[in-house]
Structure 1
């Protein structure tokens, strides 16, 4: 595999590859995230009053059924990105573009991937079965009005997650271990565990977690091949546009979607769609590689 570009990202991490620094950095990133969330709550309480601020934050972090709640949740991932940058700077003396790769290269990778996947998903929308029952979630006019806020929100959310898993975690592990099973596998396992939700997905939870692990491996491979986070962010962003903005599962984070499925994440009706998603993520990975010629 052509992973020589990965050294662009890993080289700055080799100066301080200690595992204790990585562990402490992850804790620090989480602490900064929590501190910024509570600071924003305090500012909201000053502006709106305690009761109103509590209602808003409770809705954002427990239900996220409305468009406003979903937007706030997605934008709150910016606090996580800040936490990662702070941790990497203080514990590994790394700068933001050291985690993402050169800005213009990362941007070019992102743009090429999102354009290619847009064409792919449009084609799959024509070819794949259309008899899945869905409900209109918001009017088309409302959806278009929300889109200028929703797309940047998704970019914030997906970028923050990629900074954590394919940025900070993958790169620091690669600086310490040469084995790909470690620096690709550990973030993929953690990403899968983070998406394992039996309380909402029931028996389907294990399949969704496996899909998340496969997605993580595809994103890790693209990052190692290109030497930037641009392709991984593009893959994540394109996937979430479909899953959050076009057709989502009813429930949490469904406030921005044009449609929702007529069944829940725990329904047996989900299983054929999950099987299709496994095939689609593999096809998406191949499309990214062709688009980037890596």
Structure 2
């Protein structure tokens, strides 16, 4: 088992990359990414236009006013569901620019689903153990977020929204980008590092994280490398989506920092993401948990 954990067996990655090889020119990837950005940029205002017709003026203004802080459940849900635009954009680009079916971004759907189930169960058990077993505790203690009944009522739409968000990010970074780069370049230093670096930079938010903004970028970049590694080992996006999904359940639905993006959390830390000292103290623990989750996912996959 130790030998397996120390290995870098990426033979399954070839099956994952194969559909991208026919049209793997770099210009197609660059233009495709520009089109993805354009579709999302155009689609965002259209969502707000539809909401202006579907909501009362009071509800629309409350949603619009909160969208910069995201402390209301409906604001967080809207943000997460809006990642459906990323799915639409990547699928459109895959069809038009690369002349292949969007489901090829996942690898074999049957195998992806099976692997995702294995990893999801393993990580869920790990997270539950971390929540209920000593020495896990919060000092100072956690504070209550949503009331349990309200949280439970929102749980199903929140889980659907989280699945859309996490799978959309994985399809873009570990699906589209990783596949197209690996089809053109054999080196993992290209097809792992470039999407992971871009994924990290996408999390650069000095307005939210203050002086820790680059530490959060590094955290997200390492997460991207772990997700890329799981994708290369398994030959599908299933494990990476499961890892991302469970991670965001923990960070957005169970315990979140106060303030921005806390609207769906059952509990909250007694500090916000802008509290630089508290966040900096928590990040090493988050790094350790991320590595343990990677190992747990690999054990579940036997890879």
Structure 2-normalised TM-score?
0.92
What SS is found at the alignment partner of 2:271? coil
**Counterparts of 1:176 and 1:195, CA distance in 2:** 27
Question: In 2, are the aligned partners of 1:211 and 1:278 still within 8 Å (CA)?
Answer: yes
Equivalent residue number for residue 195 of structure 2: 187
* Partners of 2:46 and 2:169 in 1: CA distance: 21
Residue of structure 1 equivalent to 2:280: 271
- Partner residue of 1:260? 268
Query: Which residue of structure 2 lines up, in the alignment, with residue 198 of structure 1?
Result: 206
Query: Which range moved further: 158-167 or 97-106?
Result: 97-106
What's the RMSD between the two structures over aligned residues? 1.7
Query: Match of 1:105?
Result: 111
1:137 alignment counterpart:
145
1:53-78 Cα offsets, whole Å, 9 max, x none, are 46534533x22210111111101101
Counterpart CA distance in 2 for 1:51 and 1:146 is 21
Q: 2:129 aligns with which of 123, 127, 146?
A: 123
* Partner residue, 1:82: 88
Provide the aligned length of Structure 1 versus Structure 2. 293
Query: What secondary structure is seen at the aligned counterpart in 1 of 2:83?
Result: helix
Spell out structure 1 runs of 4+ moving beyond 6 A: none
- C-alpha distance in 2, partners of 1:127/1:208? 27
Partner SS state of residue 192, structure 1: helix
Aligned equivalent of 2:184: 176
Unaligned stretches of 5+ residues in structure 1: none
Structure 2 gap ranges (5+): 1-7
User: Greater shift after overlay, 189-198 or 72-81?
Assistant: 189-198
1:150-208 deviation digits (Å, cap 9, x = unpaired): 11110000000000110001111111111111100001111111112222212222222
Q: Which residue of 2 aligns with 1:43?
A: 50
* Partner deviation per Cα, 1:130-154 (whole Å, 9 max, x = no partner): 1333211111111111101111110
In structure 2, do the counterparts of structure 1 residues 162 and 106 end up closer, same or farther at CA, with 3 Å as the change threshold? same
**How big is each residue's C-alpha offset from its partner over 1:186-242, in whole Å with a ceiling of 9 and x where there is no partner?**
011111111122222122222222111111100000001111100000000000000
CA distance in 2, matches of 1:156, 1:145: 19
TM-score (norm 1): 0.94
